[in-house]
Amino acid sequence: MAPTALGSRGFTLVELMIVVAIIGILAAIATPKFASLMRQTQEGATKGNMAALRSALNIYYGDMEGSYPTAMQALTVNGKYISQLPISNPANYHPAWNGETDVATGGGINDAGGWAYDNNGNDTNYGAVWVNCQHTDTKGSIWTAY
């Protein structure tokens, strides 16, 4: 067997440094994109949860012949309308939470996270539910606009 030349096996240090630099550049580009996709996913889930909550409220309204519950927790009794209140997670502003703030009892939309619910039968927004956040989503819309 003939001996091989000293530099003919493996990679040189320069080649390895170039590969590491390329991987670093790709990671620097991918990380912000991934964070943006995570935020959009959380926002989409919150909007979907709000739609499910509104649907359960409308079914309750129909069953109760024109009245909404005094508190959204009534939707979860025996799991008839919804098994548990869904999570509100307006990404980067509030922690994920399924709590409720009653707009009619003075809580208002107070930017506390969770859900804001209008249970005042004399109010024009009676039965409405919003994300209790006054920040904007990735499209620039204020959460209470949905």
Residue 4 lies in a domain: no
Q: Residue 65: which pLDDT band, with cuts at 50, 70 and 90?
A: very high
Inside any domain, residue 7: no
Residue 111 forms part of a structural domain:
yes
Please say whether the beta carbons of 143 and 116 come within 8 A.
Answer: no
2 is a domain residue: no
Per-residue pLDDT, averaged over 118-143, amounts to 91
pLDDT at 22: 95
| Mean pLDDT in residue range 2-7 | 56
- Let me know if 90 is exposed, middle or buried by CB neighbors in 10 A (0-12, 13-18, 19+): buried
Model confidence at 4: pLDDT above 60: no
- Please give the Cα distance from 50 to 86 (Å, whole number): 8
For the chain, helix (H) and strand (E) counts, in that order, are 1, 3
In a domain, residue 5? The reply is no
Residue linked to tokens 């249970």: 119
**Is the pLDDT reported for residue 3 higher than 60?**
no
Give domain status of residue 141, yes or no: yes
* pLDDT at residue 47, rounded to an integer: 94
Tell me if 105 is assigned to some domain: yes
For residue 11, give Cα distances in angstroms to 4, 7, 8, 20.
15, 9, 9, 13
Residue pair 89/42 in contact by the 8 Å Cβ criterion: yes
Predicted confidence (pLDDT) at residue 61 exceeds the cutoff of 70: yes
The number of domains in the chain is 1
User: Which amino acid is it at 116?
Assistant: A
Q: Provide mean pLDDT across the span 78-97.
A: 90
Looking at residue 2, what is its pLDDT?
54
Residue 33: the pLDDT is: 84
Tell me the mean pLDDT in the region 17-28: 93
Q: Is residue 84 part of a domain?
A: yes
- At 23 the pLDDT is 94
The token pair that represents 95 in the structure block: 């922690």
The residue range of the domain holding 44 is: 13-145
